[in-house]
Every structure is written in structure tokens, then in C-alpha cells.
Amino acid sequence: MARNLVKNPSGEEELEFWELTQNGGSQWKVEDMPGDCGFDFCRDGVTKYFATSFQLCLKEQVIDLVAEGYSPQQLDDVPMITVEDWYCGRTDCGCTYQITVSLLDENEELMQEFKPEPVTLDPDIDDCSWKQVSHTFSDYGPGVRFICFEHGGQDTKFWDGWFGVRVTGSSVTVEV
């Protein structure tokens, strides 16, 4: 089984290894499951999550695939790269979630990108429980050397505090 290349995917080490690219409102925070007006996670071992605020909160990791032990030849053979993320809302406030994962070449130029439309969760019509997003890159051509994983969101009512989307369990795997 391929290993997860995302460091600190669920906040066990607070915000270590993450670059905060947008840190609005009350800023990013790590909370324990299930949190106020929240849900337990659907997999054992995940006990924390990252919480967003009333202004856009985004964080990213840039993964250096060669530094992670993959040879240029392995990468030029165009292995499947799978990204996964989990997100949920609170039962008392709506939120938005977004994710962008980019495959980059040796100069960190964009090769291919996964960027679905932002998702809005409304507790009046959605149970706001944990949901998974997943994407597998293939046929992107030789030359990938870095992966940029960025995600986050905010609440929809602009309430002071951490009422925005919650994220956890992020992963990036390379199948060589």
C-alpha cells in the first residue's frame, strides 16, 4: 500500500508542516472530534480536525516527490497519484469547502490540476456529516516532481469564531 505523503493530515501536530495561504477571521484552529455541533469521524484513529473561520482560510503543503524518495524515472513513468480529503460542517452554521491539488514540474510549473467547484454545506438541507473528496491523476505526462495540496473554506454566516468548514484525513499517495 502506498504511503500518505501529507504530513500532519489531521492536526495531531497543530498546524506544523502547513503553510497558511489565507488565514482570515479568527484564523485556523485545531479542535478535537467531534467538536461543538459536530460529528465523530468515520475512521478509527482520527481524533482531530482543522477548523476554519468567518473569512477564507486556506492552507497548503508542497510535496517534493524526489525528496520523498521517488526517482525521476519512477515519476516519469507517470504513476497514478491519488488525493483524498475529508470535510464537514457544523449543525448550526453553513460553510463552504474548496480544494486545489496541482501537479508541478521541476520548475514548479503547473502540469495538471484538480480544482472542483467549491461545495456549500447548509445544515437546513444537509446533515453536514463527514464527506470525502477523491481524485486520481493519470495520463499527465512525464516530469512531475512536486504536488501542491491546498484546501480550506469558511462559514457562510460570518460568525466570529470557528464556525466554518472542518477538514481532516488529507492524503496524497503515489502508486509506483
8 in any annotated domain: no
The answer to whether residue 7 is domain-embedded is no
Q: Are 167 and 50 in contact (CB under 8 A)?
A: yes
Answer yes or no: is 37 within a domain.
yes
Q: pTM of the entire structure?
A: 0.93
Cell triple for 20: 497558511
Q: Which is more confident, 100 or 22?
A: 100
- pLDDT, tens digit (0-9, with 9 covering 90-100), for 98-123: 999 999 999 999 999 999 999 999 99
CA-CA-CA-CA dihedral for 42, 20, 72, 102, to nearest 10: 70
Do the domain assignments include residue 63?
yes
Collect all residues with Cβ–Cβ distance below 8 Å to 125 and sequence separation of at least 6. none
Q: How many domains does the chain have?
A: 1
Question: pLDDT tens, 150-161?
Answer: 999 999 998 888
Between strands 110-114 and 48-51, the pairing is unpaired
Domain range for 35 is 19-175
> In the chain, what percentage of residues exceed pLDDT 90?
84
Query: Is 73 inside any structural domain?
Result: yes
pLDDT bin (cut points 50, 70, 90) of residue 149 is very high
E strand intervals along the chain? 19-23, 29-32, 48-51, 57-64, 80-88, 95-104, 110-114, 119-121, 131-137, 146-155, 166-175
Residue 4 lies inside a defined structural domain of this protein: no
Q: What CATH number is given to the structural domain containing 71?
A: 2.60.120.260
Section 22-51 average pLDDT: 87
Which residue stretches of the chain are H helix?
Answer: 72-76
* CA pair distance 143, 155, nearest whole angstrom: 38
pLDDT at residue number 1: 67
5 part of a folded domain: no
**CA-closest candidate to residue 164, choices 99, 101, 88, 59:** 88
